[in-house]
Structure 1
Amino acid sequence: MSQRRLLHRYYFFGLDGLVHAYVGLRLVPDLDAFPGLGAALAIVLVLSAILIPTSMLARRRSAGPGLRAAMWLGLLCMGLFSSLLVLTLLRDVVLAAASALALFLPAWQPGGLAGASAEFVLAAACFMSVAGFVGARRVARVTTVDIPVAGLPPALEGFTIAQISDIHVGPTIRESYVRRIVETVNGLRADMVAITGDLVDGSVPDLAQHVRPLGGLSSRHGTFFVTGNHEYYAGAHAWVEALRGLGMRVLLNEHAVVRHAGHAIVIAGITDFSAHQFDPAHRSDPQRAIAGAPADAAVKVVLAHQPRSAALTAPAGFDLQLSGHTHGGQFLPWNFLVPLQQPYVQGLHREQRMWVYINRGTGYWGPPMRFGVPSEITLLRLVRDDKVTRPHSKEHP
């Protein structure tokens, strides 16, 4: 292991310990109303401080049952601790404001606020973790979205694309989870399927078995795939070959032409926005992806993992970009941080003359937790723009 990598690991463990200590010192002393509650939280925080870095460091190793169990526990702790940390920070802001107010209003004293707020933080964090776990582990719901296309031939009215994204097959998302996604997608009977990256969180030898059900995806024109940033963390070249072996059309800055009802539809795909950092030959290139496309194509669709690729794909002449990457924020506090990196977080948006749709993610990354941001399988329908006054989407239970 390089000295630099070892140093980063020390920093990670140190920061992990510090933030856990902060939460413990701020909450445990004020949980005296219920005997044993503070001690129980202290034990949970110590275990969390150990299990979270353990689960992160073990993610890229072949895991037996014991290590997988530790990874599960660590990722569950990550979800719970994330909520505890955010709520503890907010609690400290409230307590500071209450103390400042007491200076100006001596008659008003916030007695009991420290204990009540500590209990609230613990209860709210537990509720968010349980609700988030249920939200993450259920099969993604189908969201139907109409995409108005100028000059769409009547024969292409209702052409459907089933989009899945950011499944993150890995420590907690395995074969059975993937199989349920496939069953739901196949039930849509879409004209084609698009997978917009971040399919895996691990190597081909570790996860090939759990990705294999995706070979059963069924549609009229087949399944198209583009790489996300996590494919490059996990060995993109090996995954490209493995997915081609499952019958997917992997688009690396290239396009395919689908003939439907006598009309041409261009399906292009670009490599991830950051791919060149891992392989200069994989630099994302929308112009290359559309080069040589038929001039008479009725619709031009591009699959691009990150929404911020839209600034480059729109000038290339595409009508629609399908993206993922953001997970819609997934849970607090990330839903507030994603907009700092990406121009769009979820749903349908306009970039110049091109529509951009961002799938919230069909799985999840890291902790099995989705709070307030449900996972999604998208069914996109092409419609003539003169039939739609305002694009809309509908989520099905």
Structure 2
Amino acid sequence: MAGFVAVIVVVDLAVHFYLWKRLVRDVTRPGWRRTAGTVVAAGLAVLVPVTVGATRGGHLWWLAWPGYVWIGLMFYLLVALVPLEVPRLALVLLWRPTSRTSEAAETLSRRQAIARGAAIVAGLTAAGTTGYGMRTALGPPRLQRVQMPLAKLPRSMDGLRLAIVSDIHLGPLARTHHVGRIVDLINSVTADIVCVVGDLVDGSVAELGKFAEPLRGIESRQGAYFVTGNHEYYSGFAPWIDEVASLGVRPLRNERVEIGGLDLAGVNDLGGAQYGDGPDFAKALGDRDPSRPVVLMAHQPVVARQAAPFGVDLQVSGHTHGGQMAPFNLVVKLQQPVVSGFGRVDGVPVFVTNGAGFWGPPLRVGAPPQVTVMDLRSS
């Protein structure tokens, strides 16, 4: 843990030094403006670890807004500035002084002019992207409708409707209103089964339990079900399992239920292993009738590799947020085999919903929040 914290601090300092160099030192002359910019940069460097640490689980939640908004803006400043390094260098090399006597002064002047131009471009790009991302993330989730063929599904169950939601991330920036409008959207689709596939919360029951109350209003014909995500284990998973059950949403703890001619199974998240509560695929999927179709609820898409030997007909997952902030989706792809939508993992059909909330910066760029409505079709 100490090593991880050390890495975060080093990265934080390196990023802020780079931003200070490009947005403060390179664009100002020595004086009060540079001093003020340096003080602001130092303060923002401190704000990042304070935000991540102090607001975890709802503590000092008022720090979350400025801290996480800055983290998002910082990310897009980097995304904008780094590609500008090449044209910046090219302009410096190609801009020739008008005379030898003024070469030193003109070199300094042209460097500063180029730096100011790059800072303006990067600042406007980052601010515009951050504003768009906040509007998307804080707005209502969108309804995504898909149809999924399931070969073993009895014809009598053709059209069985699943409402799939993940990554609500009830926490310091998302509370009762956030959960309430997600529940309203779920209820609007008249689902047969509601699947809540992990990362419901970012904080303890004592801190956030009252904000989860809208979950009690979920409506479905055949019940609502829940599996843990990695963030439940950061937030005190055992009390949350009891709390979710008390709200009428049944936790599936490495188990399955029979719903007509369909098996619905759920496994604990991989993150539970270090808490003695990891996934048990044999318990959830073993010793069942293979002629019945089985839909597996699992928070992380990658677990399909472990589920494949058990003949899973469909896995529904979340965890990735669809990448949340493009181009971060390219990094997520290195860890998860499916980032958003449908894919196959070792032969298992896997569907990944973008999630209805956000984690960290209240931004979504290229991956809008969503609740997925999936109609299962017999074939």
TM-score normalised by L of structure 1 = 0.84
TM-superposition CA deviations, 1:262-302 (whole Å, max 9, x none): xx2100001112321222xx2312222013434542x2100
| Residue 287 (1) aligns with residue 288 (2) | no
The 1:374–1:209 alpha-carbon spacing in structure 2 relative to 1, beyond 3 Å, is same
The 1:39–1:371 alpha-carbon spacing in structure 2 relative to 1, beyond 3 Å, is farther
What 5-or-longer segments of structure 2 have no aligned partner?
A: 97-106
| Residue 278 (1) aligns with residue 271 (2) | no
Counterpart position of 1:306:
300
d(CA) in 2 for partners of 1:224 and 1:18? 44
d(CA) in 2 for partners of 1:37 and 1:162? 54
The 1:306–1:8 alpha-carbon spacing in structure 2 relative to 1, beyond 3 Å, is closer
d(CA) in 1 for partners of 2:74 and 2:37? 11
Counterpart position of 1:181:
182
Code of the residue aligned with 2:48 in structure 1: it is I
d(CA) in 2 for partners of 1:8 and 1:356? 31
Counterpart position of 1:26:
22
Code of the residue aligned with 2:313 in structure 1: it is D
| Contact 1:251–1:270 (CA under 8 A) maintained in structure 2 | yes
The 1:97–1:307 alpha-carbon spacing in structure 2 relative to 1, beyond 3 Å, is farther
Structure 1 residue 118 displacement after superposition: 1.7
Counterpart position of 1:357:
351
SS at match of 2:80: helix
d(CA) in 1 for partners of 2:89 and 2:330? 23
Counterpart position of 2:340:
346
TM-score normalised by L of structure 2 = 0.88
Counterpart position of 2:103:
none
Structure 1 residue 209 displacement after superposition: 0.8
d(CA) in 2 for partners of 1:92 and 1:126? 19
Code of the residue aligned with 1:283 in structure 2: it is G
The 1:363–1:44 alpha-carbon spacing in structure 2 relative to 1, beyond 3 Å, is farther
d(CA) in 2 for partners of 1:37 and 1:122? 17
Q: How many residues align?
A: 364
Code of the residue aligned with 1:275 in structure 2: it is G
| Contact 2:58–2:171 (CA under 8 A) maintained in structure 1 | no
The 1:274–1:102 alpha-carbon spacing in structure 2 relative to 1, beyond 3 Å, is farther
Code of the residue aligned with 1:171 in structure 2: it is P
Structure 1 residue 96 displacement after superposition: 3.9
TM-superposition CA deviations, 1:101-123 (whole Å, max 9, x none): 889xxxxx998543322211010
d(CA) in 1 for partners of 2:39 and 2:239? 42
| Contact 1:162–1:380 (CA under 8 A) maintained in structure 2 | yes
| Contact 2:166–2:197 (CA under 8 A) maintained in structure 1 | yes
Structure 1 residue 371 displacement after superposition: 1.1
| Contact 2:145–2:373 (CA under 8 A) maintained in structure 1 | yes
d(CA) in 2 for partners of 1:37 and 1:141? 44
The 1:119–1:43 alpha-carbon spacing in structure 2 relative to 1, beyond 3 Å, is farther
d(CA) in 1 for partners of 2:358 and 2:5? 24
TM-superposition CA deviations, 1:365-388 (whole Å, max 9, x none): 001000121111000111134xxx
TM-superposition CA deviations, 1:204-251 (whole Å, max 9, x none): 101101112112111001111111111111111111111111111111
Counterpart position of 2:255:
254
Which runs of structure 2 are paired with 1:3-152 in the superposition (5 Å)? 5=2, 9=5, 12-31=8-27, 44-60=40-56, 63=59, 67-96=60-89, 113-152=114-153
Structure 1 residue 8 displacement after superposition: 5.5
| Residue 319 (1) aligns with residue 313 (2) | yes
d(CA) in 2 for partners of 1:181 and 1:294? 35
Select the residue among 316, 334, 356 that pairs with 2:328. Answer: 334
Q: Which moved more, 1:69-78 or 1:161-170?
A: 69-78
Counterpart position of 2:173:
172
d(CA) in 1 for partners of 2:132 and 2:374? 28
